[in-house]
A and B are shown apart, each in its own frame.
Chain A
């Protein structure tokens, strides 16, 4: 038997039991088995896919999901489709932009939609941080199309914002 992830022989047979996927046996080579055992969480793509499948069962139509797939974050540009396929979000602002769409997913994964527990002593408005991320992206795009004038304008703007932030942190 070959390893599920490469051509080497599968010498390890790993059982994983989770609520969302039930009991599952994986056949892996030594290297992939060690990596798998050290990773503490279940495959996020699988758990997100299964949570979204449950949403379909719960009455969200295929058309609604297709529309959602096209929705994209204005800050980092990631589409919901891309997120769904990789299980990874693009930036912190996604939790604001896709908030309503993420709620059913959160309920499925965590059985909760509200953080309880530790909070950082200092936080910044998500919007101001999002602007920084967005400007940095715009600056890189300006450099790419060789619009150096625009790039340096953005750089100045970014500096101003970062200085303002430092000042706030000290006060």
Chain B
């Protein structure tokens, strides 16, 4: 593992999990699993003194530095990193907003391909995360299970046989496992079925959250489904609940809605998608909400074959790189909100015209 504070290389790439590949990637953006773990001989974060936090960060970092095959893992000291860089890591979903905005000793280890990250001193001492493109929870589970074994070989975890892995918040206790799948569901939103679909899921221990169209001028049509309970079911059962049961059902509803749109409203849809692409390609300034709204339509258009010359991976990359910290990193200096809107429009214009010319 090497300590790092340089993001120039990261900024130009999109994360591996944003490639737009993997099973069901026309609907499923990413599959993520995280594990919450704590050291047995320290209080939980909220009760830690500053010295405790320093000791935990030092201990864990020293152990990780000794892992074989971790040469390409980067460690970022979040206490030292400027705010813009921390926000950049948040936008890439490598760290949580909580740890980015917290105080005191804390850090994150990130694999070169950005498939995994290990946050140190988040709400729990360790938050291990693995992320893959498309619906690929089995790969994610195997990888995170191995990572957990590796960390466990070096660190004594807080665990008891009754409540399992002990966490700062009882909502995470037991497996400490949270499975989250990010879905793009524009057709269910357009056909106004989205709320009905999610209401039908209310009783089955999953949480759904998303950018929702109603009351908002623009919507991105992205929804996240995750398991609500963590105790009393095994890791593989929880992975199966989300990845084998709930998500496939939502995918089926979205596909039906897409078929319906293609059959019944092809012309309207094509018009909508083309206009969205037109606005993204010609606007002189554009907010991040508007960008998300139109990129969502373009993403649907690409997946339905209404736009030929763009790849889903390109759209995903645009979603990521038009966010504030990414724009500023790429531009090389801090920008005010109004400047960002201009820079965002310029960026979109350049990349969309590239896509058409190539």
| Complex contact A41–B232 (CB within 8 A) | no
Contact with A along B11-44 (1 / 0, CB 8 A): 0000000000000000000001010001011111
A106 CA to B123 CA in the complex, in Å? 19
| Complex contact B215–A111 (CB within 8 A) | no
A16 CA to B17 CA in the complex, in Å? 24
- Choice from B42, B148, B166, B170 contacting A48 with Cβ under 8 Å: B170
A77 to chain B: which residues have CB within 8 Å?
47
A132 to chain B: which residues have CB within 8 Å?
41
A101-116 contacts to B (CB < 8 Å) = 102, 105-106, 109-116
| Complex contact B152–A112 (CB within 8 A) | no
A132 CA to B158 CA in the complex, in Å? 13
Known A30-B289, A90-B46, A95-B173; contact A42-B159, beta-carbon cutoff 8 A = no
Residue A37 CB within 8 A of the other chain: yes
- Choice from A16, A123, A136 contacting B207 with Cβ under 8 Å: A16
- Choice from B158, B229, B235 contacting A109 with Cβ under 8 Å: B229
A75 to chain B: which residues have CB within 8 Å?
43
A36 CA to B97 CA in the complex, in Å? 9
A77 CA to B46 CA in the complex, in Å? 12
- Choice from B41, B46, B174, B205 contacting A133 with Cβ under 8 Å: B41
A90 CA to B163 CA in the complex, in Å? 16
Q: How far is the CB of A165 from chain B (nearest CB, A)?
A: 8
Residue A18 CB within 8 A of the other chain: yes
Known A17-B202, A41-B207, A90-B44; contact A121-B152, beta-carbon cutoff 8 A = yes
A30 CA to B203 CA in the complex, in Å? 30
User: A-side binding surface: helix, strand, loop or mixed?
Assistant: mixed
A169 to chain B: which residues have CB within 8 Å?
156
A119 to chain B: which residues have CB within 8 Å?
159, 161, 164
B222 to chain A: which residues have CB within 8 Å?
37
Name which of A17, A115, A169 has the most chain B CB atoms within 10 A of its CB.
A115
Known A37-B224, A111-B232; contact A105-B170, beta-carbon cutoff 8 A = yes
Known A11-B289, A34-B97; contact A129-B215, beta-carbon cutoff 8 A = no
Name which of B40, B145, B160, B231 has the most chain A CB atoms within 10 A of its CB.
B40
- Choice from B46, B145, B169 contacting A118 with Cβ under 8 Å: B145
Residue B162 CB within 8 A of the other chain: yes
A86 CA to B42 CA in the complex, in Å? 19
- Choice from A12, A22, A117, A123 contacting B202 with Cβ under 8 Å: A22
| Complex contact A118–B160 (CB within 8 A) | no
Contact with A along B175-219 (1 / 0, CB 8 A): 100101000000000000001001101110101111110111110
| Complex contact A34–B90 (CB within 8 A) | yes
- Choice from B91, B170, B228, B287 contacting A18 with Cβ under 8 Å: B228
A28 CA to B123 CA in the complex, in Å? 22
Query: Which B-chain residue is minimally distant from A116 (CB atoms)?
Result: B234
- Choice from B171, B208, B229 contacting A17 with Cβ under 8 Å: B208
- Choice from A37, A106, A117, A165 contacting B175 with Cβ under 8 Å: A117
| Complex contact B199–A114 (CB within 8 A) | no
B253 to chain A: which residues have CB within 8 Å?
none
| Complex contact B228–A13 (CB within 8 A) | no
Known A40-B34, A40-B178, A90-B43; contact A19-B49, beta-carbon cutoff 8 A = no
Q: How far is the CB of A51 from chain B (nearest CB, A)?
A: 9
A140 to chain B: which residues have CB within 8 Å?
49, 51
| Complex contact B232–A115 (CB within 8 A) | yes
Contact with A along B277-295 (1 / 0, CB 8 A): 0000000000111000000
- Choice from A12, A14, A87, A123 contacting B159 with Cβ under 8 Å: A123
| Complex contact B205–A19 (CB within 8 A) | yes
A42 CA to B229 CA in the complex, in Å? 11
Residue B168 CB within 8 A of the other chain: yes
A44-87 contacts to B (CB < 8 Å) = 44, 47-48, 75-78, 86-87
Residue B275 CB within 8 A of the other chain: no
| Complex contact A36–B209 (CB within 8 A) | yes
Q: How far is the CB of A155 from chain B (nearest CB, A)?
A: 12
- Choice from B209, B234, B287 contacting A14 with Cβ under 8 Å: B209
Residue B314 CB within 8 A of the other chain: no
Q: How far is the CB of A72 from chain B (nearest CB, A)?
A: 12
Residue B303 CB within 8 A of the other chain: no
Residue A120 CB within 8 A of the other chain: yes
Name which of B170, B175, B230, B234 has the most chain A CB atoms within 10 A of its CB.
B170
16 interchain pairs, CB-CB under 8 A: A11-B217, A14-B212, A16-B208, A16-B209, A17-B201, A19-B228, A30-B289, A35-B96, A40-B224, A106-B170, A115-B163, A116-B174, A117-B234, A124-B156, A136-B52, A165-B156
3 residue pairs, one from A and one from B, having the closest CB atoms: A112-B232, A115-B164, A35-B97
